Structure 1
Amino acid sequence: MSRRRTNPSPKPSTPANRPSNRPSNQPANPPAEPVSGPVGRPARTPVTLIAAAVVVGLEALGAVVAGGWLTVEAIITRPRGMGIAASAGVFVLAAGVGLGFLAWGLLRGRRWSRGPVVAIQLLMLPLGYELLSGSTTVVGVGMLVAAILTLVLVLAPPSTMVFRE
C-alpha cells in the first residue's frame, strides 16, 4: 500500500534568494584544491609511473607474441620433445599475461605491482646480458634497455611517492 503525500514539499531556495555570508572580496567559486586519493596518494598517476607501465606493457606484448609463436611452432614442427617445447611456449605466454596485469597495476598505482615488476626486471638483466652474443643481440639489447628503463622509472621519487602509505 503506498502513501500519498498531502503536503507539497517546499521549494528550494535559489542562490539569488539566499543571503551570502562571504566577504565581498572573495570570489563566489573558490579555486578547487588538488584532490588526493586514499592514504594521501596523489590523485593523478605521475608521468614516470605511466612510462614504466608502458614499458612493462610492451614487454608483456613481446612475451605474448613470443610465447604464442613458440607454442604454434612446437605444434606445427612436432619436435622430438614436443611436451617441453609446447610448455615453454605456454610458460612465456603466461609470463606475458602476468606482465600485462602488472602493467595495469602500475598504471593504477597499485602497491602490489611494484615488487614483482622490480623483481622481474632484475631477473631480465642477466638474461638480456646472456642474449647479447650471437644472433640474439638485438633481443638482448632490447631486454637490457627495457629492464634498466623500467627500474629507473619505477624507483624514481615521483613513482615512489605513489606507493608510500
Structure 2
Amino acid sequence: MTSEPEPTARPLPDTPPQVRVAGAVVALQGLVGIVFGVVLLVRGLGADVGIRYVLGETGYFVVIGAACVATGIGLLRGRRWARSPAIVVELLLLPVVYSLLGPSKQIVWGIVVGVVVIATFLLLISERSRMWALDLHDRSTR
C-alpha cells in the first residue's frame, strides 16, 4: 500500500539562476563595503582626524557591508526574504554611480559600477525572480 505524498511535502522549485547570480553580486558588494571600511580605518588612523569619526565611519561601512553579505547569502540559499533588501541595496547604489560619473569624474569606474548595479537590479526584478519570490510558479507540478 503506497500512499501519495501530500502536496505540501514536495520540495519547492529551485531558485532561479538569475536570483543566485544576483545573490553572488550582492554578497560581493557587501565584501567590497567591508574592505572599504577597513581601508578607511587604516588611512584614518594615520590622519589628523578624531578617532571617533574614523571608528564611526568604519563601523557604518562594516555593518552595512555585513548586511549586504547576509542578504547575498540569503539569495544564494534560496531565501525569498532576501530579494527585497537586495533590490533596496541596488537602488541605494545608484547615487554612488552618479557620484562616480559626475562629481568624481571617474567615468570608467562609474560605467563599470553602473552596469553591475543595473544588471543586478534587472535580475532581481525579472519576471522569473518575481514569480519565485511570490511563490507563484506553476502549481500544477505540485
- Report if TM-score (shorter chain) is over 0.5: yes
Q: 2:51 aligns with which of 82, 88, 95?
A: 82
2:15 match: 45
Q: 2:100 aligns with which of 131, 135, 147?
A: 131
1:29 match: none
- Take 1:159 and 1:48, find their aligned partners in 2: how far apart are those partners? 7
- Take 1:78 and 1:122, find their aligned partners in 2: how far apart are those partners? 32
Alignment partner of 1:118 is 2:87: yes
- Take 2:130 and 2:113, find their aligned partners in 1: how far apart are those partners? 23
Q: 1:156 aligns with which of 114, 120, 126?
A: 126
What is the percent sequence identity of the aligned residues?
31
Asked if 1 retains the 8 angstrom alpha-carbon contact of 2:101 and 2:107, the reply is: yes
The amino acid that maps onto 1:143 is V
2:6 match: none
Size of the aligned set, in residue pairs, is: 127
1:143 match: 113
TM-score, length-scaled by structure 2: 0.77
Alignment partner of 1:106 is 2:75: yes
Unaligned runs of 5+ in 2: 1-8, 136-142
By relative contact order (CA 8 Å, sep 6+), the higher-ranking structure is 2
The 1:55/1:74 distance shift into structure 2, 3 A limit, reads: same
Write the mapping of 1:16-27 to structure 2, written as runs, cut at 5 A.
none
- Structure 1 runs (4+) deviating above 4 angstroms are none
Asked if 1 retains the 8 angstrom alpha-carbon contact of 2:24 and 2:73, the reply is: no
The 1:61/1:142 distance shift into structure 2, 3 A limit, reads: farther
Unaligned runs of 5+ in 1: 1-34
1:58 match: 28
Q: Which has the larger radius of gyration?
A: 1
